[in-house]
């Protein structure tokens, strides 16, 4: 048990007919593809910042959208040491080392890079989201 934190990328396909989207699995159209952009184990300070800033403090294990603007805010908060101590049942304690900060930034910057480079298309929608469980 403990705080598991996931950074995910999702590609959503808007067209379901065979001409626009011929991607299938097990005979059914694929409507989205999920990508694992990052993972943290027991980093409550980062979790607390995301929940407080982007989910109005509602910590209910549901996906939290991280748009380009939100990713920029989160990257800035990590860079400027704005993650405040957060506690919770089985949350553990954040590692406030420079190595952890560098890893946080690498994952978040890479997610922003992936989101920012995606082609603008009427057939696809790209999104990044955060999800936690414990």
What is the pTM (predicted TM-score) of this model?
0.89
Higher-pLDDT residue of 20 and 80 is 80
Rounded-to-integer distance, Cα 106 and Cα 89, Å:
27
Rounded to the nearest angstrom, the gap between the alpha carbon of residue 82 and the centroid of all alpha carbons in its chain is: 18
Percent of the chain with pLDDT over 70: 92
For residue 65, list its beta bridge partners: 129
Q: What is the pLDDT of residue 17?
A: 54
Structure-block tokens of residue 100: 């952890």
Enter the DSSP assignment of 20: T
CB 105 within 8 A of CB 83: no
**Beta strand residue intervals within 32-105, DSSP E:** 32-41, 64-65
Q: Where are the domains of the chain?
A: 4-133
Higher-pLDDT residue of 50 and 19 is 50
């Amino acid at each position: 048990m403990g705080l598991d934190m996931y950074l995910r990328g999702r590609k959503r396909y808007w067209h379901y007919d065979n001409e626009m989207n011929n991607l299938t699995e097990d005979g059914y159209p694929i409507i989205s593809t999920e990508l694992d952009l990052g993972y943290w184990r027991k980093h409550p300070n980062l979790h607390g910042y995301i929940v407080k800033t982007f989910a109005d403090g509602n910590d209910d294990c549901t996906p939290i959208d991280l748009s380009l603007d939100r990713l920029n805010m989160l990257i800035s908060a990590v860079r400027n040491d704005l993650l405040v101590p957060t506690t919770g049942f089985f949350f553990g304690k954040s590692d406030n080392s420079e190595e952890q900060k560098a890893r946080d930034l690498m994952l978040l910057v890479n997610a922003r890079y992936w989101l920012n480079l995606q082609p603008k298309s009427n057939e696809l929608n790209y999104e990044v989201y955060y999800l936690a469980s414990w």
